[in-house]
Amino acid sequence: MSKAGQRLVLAFDFGVRRIGVAVGNELLASARQLEPLPARDGIPDWSLVTRLVEEWQPDLFVVGLPLNMDGTESEMSTRARKFGKRLYGRYGKPCEMVDERGSTREAKAIAREKGLLRPDRSYRDEGVDGIAAVLILESWFARREGLPSR
């Protein structure tokens, strides 16, 4: 395992149909999106997750925690926590949860700005999950550095 500050991190934006994925380097505080994972009612194809873990060899996982705007937990929070616990259980790597409030809205704005969202389609069709995973990971980096997140 790498020393703190030098770790490779896989981040996830949990969803019931798709799970956004980003990879980042803690030392550089940089993140980039990877191909989202298809999910069926929030359950990914674990063989695809295993391939990601084998390819990237992360030191830890970060999972977005979808809290309500008032900070309370929701059904999706419970499901995201369960996903994080499964990551830890399957791969034995630490998993940290990160408040992701506003990440989807910000991801949609970024996608619109880059011309990635078509006005005639829902963002759910276009998939902003990877962008949201990057934002979640960047928020985690900022928190680690003591910077205000997004």
Q: What is the pLDDT of residues 91-108, one digit of tens each?
A: 999 999 999 877 777 767
Residues in Cβ contact with 32 at an 8 Å cutoff, skipping those fewer than 6 apart: 22, 23, 24, 134
| Distance in angstroms (rounded) separating the CA atoms of residues 68 and 126 | 24
Task: Residue 139: name the closest of 63, 40, 52 by CA.
Answer: 63
8-144 maps to CATH 3.30.420.140: yes
pTM of the model: 0.83
Tallying the residues shown for the chain, one arrives at 150
Q: pLDDT tens for residues 107-119?
A: 677 667 766 655 5
- Domain ranges in the chain are 8-144
For residue 150, pLDDT over 50 is answered with no
- Distance of alpha carbon 17 from alpha carbon 37, whole angstroms: 9
DSSP 101: T
Kindly report, residue by residue over 37-78, the tens digit of the pLDDT.
999 999 999 999 999 999 999 999 999 999 988 989 999 999
Give the torsion sign (CA, 90, 136, 130, 123).
positive
Q: At 101, phi and psi to the nearest 5?
A: -55, 130
Average pLDDT, the chain: 85
Helix (H, G, I), strand (E, B) or coil at 45: coil
